[in-house]
Amino acid sequence: MADKSVLIVGAGIAGITAALRLARNNFKVYLIDREAYIGGQAISYNCIGVENCNKCSVCLLQRRVREIEEYFPNILIKVNSEIEEVKNSKDKFDVTLKKGFSIINPDLCQGCGLCKKVCPSSAITVSHPQSIPRTYKVNPENCLKINGEEDCRKCIDVCPFRAIDFNSIIKEETLSDISAIILTTGFEPWDPTAKAEYGYRENKNVITASDFKHKLYMNGHICRPSDQKIPKKIAIIQCVGSRDRSINNQNCSRICCGYGIQMGRLLKEQDPEVEVSIFYMDIQPFGKEFNKTFNESKKDFNIKYLKSIPSQITENEEGKVIIKYENPRNGNIEKQYFDLAILSIATNPAKKFGKLAEKLNVWVNDSGFCEIPNYMQGNKTNKTGVFVAGTSLGPKDINECIANAENAALEVMLYLNK
């Protein structure tokens, strides 16, 4: 009796939670995402099975991603899709999706992996190790057909589902009779190249927190990008891109203190001999048991906390990172050598959220996040029938996103059951 349908834009943790809750209560859900897989930002993080649970909450997402398959007919996943046009009549929406996929059609691909085996130049890879739906993609740099050899059609011939087509790239699809829309477009990590004094990209051994997570995910340990050696002295720099007048973002990004401390603990747990220093401005408590985690990191893990924000980061020929900062103990300007520097970057709203909000006539605040008219109905936008949840409203951690998405699901249920 799934009669009313809801469109959820963005299949991150908030989108998936809302989708599951609505499907459980007999609504039809279209879950769309512009990437080729669902899971959003958090799927690229992973639980590092260390002795003490660091409460990264990544397990929550993986559980839900697995669960979403069970609701197959009620939740329809549409990946590689973006909203092209929205028509609003009375309380219904007609939404046109633009589906841009590169060569392998994710709707048809069953993830059998035969194409990967026959490809002579190994240009076909899984789009993401844990991606659901498990689809493959063609890397245009390696593909022989794209790079001159027109006759190569090995993958096309082998595919039992006829999912590979080098001609069709963009397709449009219209979803009609949508009763409500939930925006869960999420966040994007801030680009630290804008802060030139930290020399991100110029200095090889200066990485961001998302690079850090990605490296851990791929290798299981962290190594220096310049020479692949295991670093012994690591600096973590907080508040990069937040609470900073020079880049016009004065707001606190909330989650960075939590994940900065988590990163330190992870590094210490993998190798207790690593020296970890955290440069910070103010520690912002976050969530239950923050105190305990913070004090433990000082006492049991011996992480050094320096109340100072570096003014400059450079790198010498050996790959050592030189951090210039004011020593909080004596006020002198000092330089310290590190093997690796990790920037705890701020969260920005998704780039295309502004355009999407324009199409839907939804308010956006100065920082680029969604603006809500009523404080107590935190998920209703100014437009009737359009709801918002998760990090589209501002920085949140995984647990908060889940609670927030549940609230959005409840508001949608009450709105549609009227």
Partner 1 sequence: MHSENRIGIFLCNCKKVLSKKVSFKELLAYFKDYKDVEYIEENNYLCNMNTAKELEKRIKDNKLNRVIIAACSPQLKGTFFKNIISESGINYNLISFVNLREQCAMLFSEEGSATRNAINLIESSIRRTIKQEPIKIKTTMIRQSVLVIGGGLAGLQTALNLSKLYYRVILVERNNQLGGYLKTDYFFEGKNVNYKELISKKIEEIIKNNRIIILNQAELIELEGFVGDFKATIKVSNMNKKNEIKYLNIGAIVLSTGCQNYLPADKYGISLSSKVQKLSQLADIINKKKESLNNINSICFISGIISDDQRLQGETLLKLSLKLAEEHKIQVYILCKNVFVAQDGLEELYQNARSKGVLFLKYNKESPRIDFKKDINKIEVSLYDPLLGVDLSNRGKKITISCDLLALEELIIPSTGTKELSEILQITTDGDGFYQQGNISLQPVFTNRKGIFTVGSCRGLKSVVQTVDDSAMVSLEIHNLLKEKRIQYKLDGAVVDDDKCILCLTCLRTCPHKAIQLVKNIDPNQTRIVINGLACERCGLCVSHCPANAIVLPRYKNSQIFAEII
Binding site for partner 1 (CB under 8 A): 21, 24-25, 53, 55, 57, 59-60, 63, 66, 70, 112-113, 243, 250-252, 254, 257, 282-286, 288-291, 294-295, 307, 328-331, 375-376, 378, 394, 398-400, 402-404, 406-407, 409-411, 413-414
DSSP, residue by residue, 95-148 = EEEEEE--SB-TTT-----HHHHH-TT--EEESSTT-SS--EEE-TTT-TTTTT
CB-wise, 40 or 390, nearer to partner 1?
390
Task: Name residue, tokens 């404080």.
Answer: 375
CB-wise, 170 or 414, nearer to partner 1?
414
Q: At closest approach, how far in Å is the CB of 329 from partner 1?
A: 5
DSSP β-bridge partners for residue 98: 82, 172
Q: How far apart are the first and last CA of the chain?
A: 17
Q: At closest approach, how far in Å is the CB of 34 from partner 1?
A: 26
CB-wise, 173 or 296, nearer to partner 1?
296
> Alpha helices, DSSP H only, in 126-225?
154-158, 209-219
Nearest to 68 by CA among 111, 107, 12: 12
Q: At closest approach, how far in Å is the CB of 87 from partner 1?
A: 30
- Decide if 339 contacts 232 (C-beta within 8 A): yes
Q: At closest approach, how far in Å is the CB of 304 from partner 1?
A: 13
With residues binned 3-state (H G I as helix, E B as strand, rest as coil), the percentages for the chain, rounded to 5, are 25, 25, 45
CB-wise, 339 or 411, nearer to partner 1?
411
Give the span between the Cα atoms of 401 and 188, in whole angstroms.
Answer: 15
CB-wise, 185 or 293, nearer to partner 1?
293
Nearest to 316 by CA among 298, 292, 337: 337
Q: 86-124: b or e for each residue (b if 16 or more CB lie within 10 Å)?
A: bebeeeebebebebebbbbbbbebeeeebbeeebeeebb
CB-wise, 179 or 205, nearer to partner 1?
179
CB-wise, 64 or 233, nearer to partner 1?
64
CB-wise, 145 or 243, nearer to partner 1?
243
CB-wise, 166 or 286, nearer to partner 1?
286
Nearest to 80 by CA among 61, 98, 96: 98
Give the span between the Cα atoms of 274 and 264, in whole angstroms.
Answer: 10
DSSP β-bridge partners for residue 82: 98
Q: At closest approach, how far in Å is the CB of 284 from partner 1?
A: 4
Q: At closest approach, how far in Å is the CB of 154 from partner 1?
A: 18
Give the span between the Cα atoms of 277 and 305, in whole angstroms.
Answer: 6
Q: At closest approach, how far in Å is the CB of 21 from partner 1?
A: 6
- Per DSSP bridges, beta strands 340-345 and 233-240 are parallel
CA dihedral of 211, 216, 369, 241, whole degrees rounded to 10: -40
CB-wise, 172 or 282, nearer to partner 1?
282
> Alpha helices, DSSP H only, in 248-396?
255-270, 290-299, 353-360
CB-wise, 11 or 256, nearer to partner 1?
256
Q: At closest approach, how far in Å is the CB of 415 from partner 1?
A: 11
The DSSP symbol for 41 reads G
Q: At closest approach, how far in Å is the CB of 317 from partner 1?
A: 34
Q: At closest approach, how far in Å is the CB of 382 from partner 1?
A: 14
Give the span between the Cα atoms of 106 and 97, in whole angstroms.
Answer: 15
Q: At closest approach, how far in Å is the CB of 376 from partner 1?
A: 6
